[in-house]
Chains A and B, each alone.
Chain A
Amino acid sequence: MAERTATIASRVGLHARPAAIFAEAAGELDLEVTIAREGEPVEEALDASSILSLMGLGAEYGTTVVLRAEGEGADAALDQLVGILETDHDAE
């Protein structure tokens, strides 16, 4: 199981546009990626490709989340997703 932590860099939190960009990227992978707030049990992790789950997570600017995935290419895939979370998409 590959695992990464990331800190939300978007000023508005993981909402709207940043959430859409992230969910879309997670959905394009051949892997099942989960997302959870740091410290929450693995079994409560949510589907990272679900925009509704992401919004329900209520992750604000500065919140740390944990991404997990299993299988071939998991490490590279998670690195890419961490990159998305740690970019301030509203500053573009």
Chain B
Amino acid sequence: MSETFTGVGVSAGRVIGPVRRMPDPIAAPADGALLPEGITAEQESARLAEATRTVAAGLKERAATATGDAADVLKATALMASDKSLLKSATKLVASGTCAESAIWEAADAVATQLAALGGYMAERATDVLDVRARIVAELRGVPAPGIPDADEPFVLWAADLAPADTATLDPTRVLALVTSGGGPQSHTAIVARSLGLPAIVAAADTVALVDGDVVFVDGIDGTVVRNPGATETALAEAYASRVALPGFDGVGVLSDGHRVPLLANVGSGSDAKDAAAAGAEGVGLLRTEFCFLGRDTEPSHDEQVQAYRAVFEAFGGSKVVVRTLDAGADKPLPFLTDESEPNPALGVRGYRTDAAVPGVLERQLAAIAEAADGTDAEVWTMAPMISTPAEAAAFATLCAAAGLTTPGVMVEVPSAAVMARQVVSEVAFASIGTNDLTQYTMAADRQLGPLAEFNDPWQPAVLHLIQATCDGGAAAAGGPKPVGVCGEAAADPALAVVLVGLGVATLSMNRRALPAVAAILKRVDRTGAQRLAQLALAAGSAAEARTLVRTALPELNVFGL
């Protein structure tokens, strides 16, 4: 009997494979927990030594089949597991009456602390020591080792949610698809899946019932997981497997009638920008400047900023680069700029609003952008995040003018800015819609919350109506029509990209990996067709209905398995 689970599809693709569950993280044993009754210190020490040997042997075996850096890391980790001095200090604790789990936990902690204190490269190795410790404790407890499971055949990875540390070791040739019971469309799982091109479904709460070895069909397009799939699912997976390979992006975003829709890239660093240029991006639609600031206690110097921005401008000489000024706050706190004690940071002092709280940082950033732009032939546009009113737009335009930046713009993420688009955009030269935040604020649903994932869908007709309002406002702006672009995840969804163009969006900016798919689908529709699909989506009663109506009208999506 097949059984269907529903979640939110966040990365396209249809595959069938066996489930492997992500093991639970290893919980810390109680501090100084005592030897179990009836067990001598000698017996416990022997048990501990045996566990370290087993873990070391397992890691050594994996090192033998790995190559390059991975082999070296595994080999070093194997040596850590069987390390004599670590075992010696743990054995000493056992001799004083501590159980093996607590003893190795404490002994490894001391080593990790010592390495962390050395800083730099050594501090990073502290993580390896803690990983080895978790493996030894898992062995002692007789539970699976933490981390991505090892399996001989490729599998569908199930997890409650995945953190960056979990996915660092995710091998896309061994993992067929990702399914999580939690998370949302903007969760780390979703972002990783899209960047690796793995089908993925998040917020499928009932999938907690899946167990290792269950064979499932994962449909990242429809957002369903089917346990014990039948002939229908097999046919769908086969059709996906035999999809037509997407042609590479030729560097020109255009509809079938010749209407140009420049396809730009979202980038977060100079090296990112080089990769995006190599992928054919026609410019940068969103330069996240946080890369310069995050993880720092103090504001980066003027010269440091100039250098960082210039690296991006140089990668796109002669093309447009839209720089978003610092977007700190909410999920991106900065000690010198944001107040972490806010009860509701998503509705707090974030984005452009930090300028009023801590004046000067923005002005200095604009000066650095202007100087970096001066040395290159990139066409530099500057926009502020989280603009809510025409007055804020006007104030930002004044700051840009004072810095010598000639093309100021605003991001439309707050519904008030979309509703007031004509007045807001009249103050500046352009607008760019951040669909992730616009969706979260329109639907009043926290982006990070799995149970609200269904709301956090840019296909929500309410969001599409606000995008329409923003485009209309841009077209009716004082001083002539002003372009409105989209730089959120929505632009990377090829079907939604068609709708956005139909709503009047002029440019689309996305992760460079999405460029070929979006370009291929845009080539199949003309402007009238896109407008017709946009009307269908606007008239829909739900995100699911909007998506289905549009996808049905775009059979080309299936050809490419999108």
State in angstroms the CA–CA spacing of A46 and B111 once bound together. Answer: 14
State in angstroms the CA–CA spacing of A76 and B195 once bound together. Answer: 53
Among listed A9-17, A62-70, A80-88, interface-contacting one? A9-17
State in angstroms the CA–CA spacing of A23 and B84 once bound together. Answer: 11
Q: Does B549 contact A (CB under 8 A)?
A: no
State in angstroms the CA–CA spacing of A7 and B423 once bound together. Answer: 70
Q: Which residues of A contact B83 (CB under 8 A)?
A: 50-53
State in angstroms the CA–CA spacing of A85 and B76 once bound together. Answer: 17
Given known A15-B121, A55-B125, A56-B118, contact A23–B85 (CB-CB < 8 A) = no
State the interface size on chain B (CB cutoff 8 A): 18
Given known A23-B79, A56-B111, A56-B115, contact A15–B122 (CB-CB < 8 A) = yes
Q: Which residues of A contact B84 (CB under 8 A)?
A: 27, 47, 49-50
State in angstroms the CA–CA spacing of A87 and B85 once bound together. Answer: 25
Q: Does A36 contact B (CB under 8 A)?
A: no
Shortest distance between the CB of A59 and any CB in chain B (Å): 11
Q: Which of B73, B79, B111, B129 counts the most A-chain CB atoms under 10 A from its CB?
A: B79
Given known A20-B72, A56-B111, contact A51–B122 (CB-CB < 8 A) = no
Pick from B75, B111, B115, B129: contact of A20, CB below 8 A. Answer: B75
Contact status A47-B85, CB under 8 Å: yes
From residue 15 to 63 of chain A, which have CB atoms closer than 8 A to chain B? 15-17, 19-20, 23-24, 27, 46-47, 49-53, 55-56, 58
Q: Which residues of A contact B111 (CB under 8 A)?
A: 52, 56
From residue 227 to 250 of chain B, which have CB atoms closer than 8 A to chain A? none
State in angstroms the CA–CA spacing of A50 and B88 once bound together. Answer: 11
Q: Which residues of B contact A19 (CB under 8 A)?
A: 76
State in angstroms the CA–CA spacing of A55 and B72 once bound together. Answer: 15
Q: Does B67 contact A (CB under 8 A)?
A: no
Contact status A17-B72, CB under 8 Å: yes
Q: Does B114 contact A (CB under 8 A)?
A: yes
Q: Does B86 contact A (CB under 8 A)?
A: yes
- Number of contacts between A and B (CB, 8 Å)? 49
State in angstroms the CA–CA spacing of A50 and B75 once bound together. Answer: 13
State in angstroms the CA–CA spacing of A12 and B121 once bound together. Answer: 9
Pick from A20, A47, A56, A58: contact of B79, CB below 8 A. Answer: A20
Taken residue by residue from 75 to 96, chain B's Cβ proximity to chain A (1 for < 8 Å, 0 otherwise) reads as 1100110011110000000000
Q: Which residues of B contact A20 (CB under 8 A)?
A: 72, 75-76, 79
- Measured CB to CB, the residues of B under 8 A from A are 72-73, 75-76, 79-80, 83-86, 111, 114-115, 118, 121-122, 125, 129
Q: Which of B73, B75, B83, B118 counts the most A-chain CB atoms under 10 A from its CB?
A: B83
Q: Which residues of B contact A12 (CB under 8 A)?
A: 121
Shortest distance between the CB of A88 and any CB in chain B (Å): 15
State in angstroms the CA–CA spacing of A79 and B442 once bound together. Answer: 72
Nearest opposing residue in chain A for B125, CB measure = A55
Q: Which residues of B contact A46 (CB under 8 A)?
A: 85
Q: List 23 A-B contacts (CB under 8 A).
A: A12-B121, A15-B122, A15-B125, A16-B72, A16-B73, A16-B125, A17-B76, A20-B72, A27-B84, A46-B85, A49-B84, A50-B83, A50-B84, A50-B85, A51-B79, A52-B83, A52-B86, A52-B111, A52-B115, A52-B129, A55-B122, A56-B111, A56-B118
Shortest distance between the CB of B301 and any CB in chain A (Å): 28
Q: Which residues of B contact A24 (CB under 8 A)?
A: 79
Given known A46-B85, A56-B111, contact A51–B76 (CB-CB < 8 A) = yes
Contact status A52-B75, CB under 8 Å: no
Other than the given A17-B76, A50-B84, A52-B86, 17 more pairs (CB < 8 A) read: A12-B121, A15-B121, A15-B122, A16-B72, A16-B76, A19-B76, A23-B79, A47-B84, A49-B84, A51-B76, A52-B80, A52-B111, A53-B83, A53-B85, A55-B125, A56-B114, A56-B115
Q: Which residues of A contact B80 (CB under 8 A)?
A: 51-52
Q: Which residues of B contact A50 (CB under 8 A)?
A: 83-86
Q: Which residues of A contact B73 (CB under 8 A)?
A: 16
Q: Which residues of B contact A15 (CB under 8 A)?
A: 121-122, 125
Q: Which residues of A contact B114 (CB under 8 A)?
A: 56
Q: Which residues of B contact A16 (CB under 8 A)?
A: 72-73, 76, 121, 125
